[in-house]
Structure 1
Amino acid sequence: MTMSDTQISAPQPGTITRPRKIITVASGKGGVGKTMISSTLAHSFAFAGEKALLVDCDLGLANVDIQLGIAPAHDLTDIIAGDVAFDAAITRIGDTRARGAFDVIAGSSGSGTLGALAKTQLAQIRQGVTLIAAHYDRVVVDLAAGIDPAVTLFAAIEGPTLVVVTDEPTSITDAYAFIKVASMNADAASTDIRVVVNMAQTTEAGRKTYETLSRACGNFLGLTPALAGIIPRDTAVRDAIRHQTPLLTRSPNAAAGSAIAKIASDLAH
């Protein structure tokens, strides 16, 4: 079986109660907390009463399953191989009957990169994400770090792209490079790029990081990405990752979790 044989059933009439929205989370470099933000966004949408799905599209360094402490029976590599359909690779996080449960399609660490796939395979994955999104209120797609053409292809999916950046100079320059490449994409006219400053020492410091990146984008690209939010540096994040537990489950009142929940709320309106 090839991936072209993998089918995704069309949503049944009356099953969609809210318009779907796909949110991609990207970064110029790794190590900026992109995966934690992605999973916490999905969890925040679920706590708000929305049906949410998290898709780990980082095949080379996928770690959503590790951070959330799950062992999925199938992941994105099985979908690419054509062994299962998208909906057969879903793992539920939390009790279905409980508030805050959400779905995950995991990646597979060390299995390669999206850039190694043929264009037809990339197009099929993107189409698969778009089709399965019809069954959800929100879909969060955790992209690989960097500016690989395959990454920017997924960043052009309908809905906003959150670019995660920290105050490290390399993070800022790499985030600028990502925004530059993404804005040059053929779908750039409909691209909605927003910046998330992570691990900020203070709100003022986070805003300065955003302003540095925004100023470079304005001067050299002629565009000013919006500020989606500032997430404070928080020891609760490391604790949640160490215990392989969602941040909002491990530390419901964590400052970082509250900041991400605010971003989710803003995206929902």
Structure 2
Amino acid sequence: MTTPDAPTLAPRPLLRTKGRNIIAVASGKGGVGKTWFAITLSHVLARSGQKVLLFDGDLGLANVDIQLGLMPKADLGSVFSGRMTLNQATVGFGAGGFDVIAGRSGSGTLANIPLSRLQMLGEDLVMLAGSYDRVVVDLGAGVEKPVRAFAQSAGTILVVTTDEPTSLTDAYAFIKVTQLERPGCDLRVIVNMANSTREGERIYNTLLKACEGFLKISPPLAGVIRRDLKVREAIRNQIPIMIRSPHTEAAADVEAIVERLVRTR
């Protein structure tokens, strides 16, 4: 697996020392269940008694609010326009027990925000994270400038992939670029929509071999989420799976991921 190099973004000192409780959920490409996982991760963390904020960092195709069935009066567009602060744009999702900062669905203008403004927003997010036990950031897919800028604020980055060759290749590309910009950062892999736990481990090993062979790093497996028809039903009905089908296999897999995540931090 090879990918062209991308220009690096220099990490700011503030982001090196703070933001350890920020978990960024990333993917090399869309369609791998990244947003669903970010929502479910936030929900499970909240159910464990933690104060949680879910931040929609997909500036071009934000859809956290859509999957939750929310119609927030404020979103990141209000923040970038200067009408609100991040804290003022926060809304509670009572059914899940966590807070949300929504993006702006289908807004191409937010995807073109200058790098300096993105870095300032990242610093604001780090400061806001001090009021929470965990902040989950749903990044946009790929390795574009906004994705990398938000990833710099995270203490842990979970890279979601599936068994599709393009998904694995693009996950590798994200890991490569992130490792170049943040050597030694806490990168972990989530395999989603696997037919079984064993198959998910096999998929992970394919990605691991590429990372070890070309990048000389070994990002650990954070967990495998099995393919589950209940996930599609939950997304279609705009109801989190922890409410609609809390005892299904995919929900149990995310609970196991959270248990390991909490134990290793």
TM-score for the superposition, normalised by structure 2:
0.89
| Offset at residue 20 of structure 1 (A) | 6.3
Between 192-201 and 72-81, the greater mean CA deviation after superposition: 72-81
Q: Of 196, 200, 208, which residue of structure 1 is paired with 2:194?
A: 200
* Equivalent in the alignment of 2:258: 264
**How large is the RMSD of aligned CA atoms in angstroms?**
1.4
Find the residue that maps to 1:86 and give its secondary structure: coil
Unmatched 5+ stretches in structure 2: 1-18
Partners of 2:71 and 2:81 lie apart in 1 by 19
Find the residue that maps to 1:154 and give its secondary structure: helix
Between 86-95 and 101-110, the greater mean CA deviation after superposition: 86-95
Q: Of 100, 107, 122, which residue of structure 2 is paired with 1:104?
A: 100
Check 1:178–1:102 CA distance in 2 against 1; reply closer, same or farther (3 A cut).
same
* Equivalent in the alignment of 1:232: 226
* Equivalent in the alignment of 1:254: 248
Aligned AA (1:174)? D
* Equivalent in the alignment of 1:129: 125
| Offset at residue 247 of structure 1 (A) | 1.0
Partners of 2:255 and 2:99 lie apart in 1 by 17
Q: Within 5 Å, give how 1:148-187 maps onto structure 2.
A: 148-185=144-181, 187=182
| Offset at residue 149 of structure 1 (A) | 2.9
Between 85-94 and 38-47, the greater mean CA deviation after superposition: 85-94
Kindly report structure 1 stretches of 4+ aligned residues shifted beyond 3 Å.
none
* Equivalent in the alignment of 1:116: 112
Per-residue CA distance 1:163-191 (angstroms, 9 max, x = gap): 00000000000000010000000x323x1
* Equivalent in the alignment of 1:146: 142
Q: Of 183, 186, 193, which residue of structure 2 is paired with 1:188?
A: 183
The question of whether the paired residues in 1 share the 8 Å contact of 2:59 and 2:111 is answered with no
* Equivalent in the alignment of 2:206: 212
Partners of 1:143 and 1:161 lie apart in 2 by 10
| Offset at residue 119 of structure 1 (A) | 1.7
Check if 1:24 corresponds to 2:19: no
Q: Within 5 Å, give how 1:56-67 maps onto structure 2.
A: 56-67=56-67
Partners of 1:229 and 1:49 lie apart in 2 by 21
**Count of residues in correspondence between the two structures:** 245
Per-residue CA distance 1:221-245 (angstroms, 9 max, x = gap): 0001100000000011111111101
Partners of 1:103 and 1:154 lie apart in 2 by 18
Find the residue that maps to 1:177 and give its secondary structure: helix
| Offset at residue 158 of structure 1 (A) | 3.7
Aligned AA (2:219)? P
The question of whether the paired residues in 2 share the 8 Å contact of 1:20 and 1:137 is answered with no
TM-score for the superposition, normalised by structure 1:
0.88
Partners of 1:167 and 1:195 lie apart in 2 by 13
Aligned AA (1:237)? V
Partners of 1:64 and 1:79 lie apart in 2 by 17
Per-residue CA distance 1:22-52 (angstroms, 9 max, x = gap): 0000000000000000000110110000000
Partners of 2:42 and 2:64 lie apart in 1 by 12
* Equivalent in the alignment of 2:38: 38
Partners of 1:200 and 1:114 lie apart in 2 by 33
The question of whether the paired residues in 1 share the 8 Å contact of 2:187 and 2:220 is answered with yes
* Equivalent in the alignment of 1:9: none
Unmatched 5+ stretches in structure 1: 1-18
The question of whether the paired residues in 2 share the 8 Å contact of 1:115 and 1:148 is answered with no
> Percentage identity across aligned positions?
51
| Offset at residue 156 of structure 1 (A) | 2.3
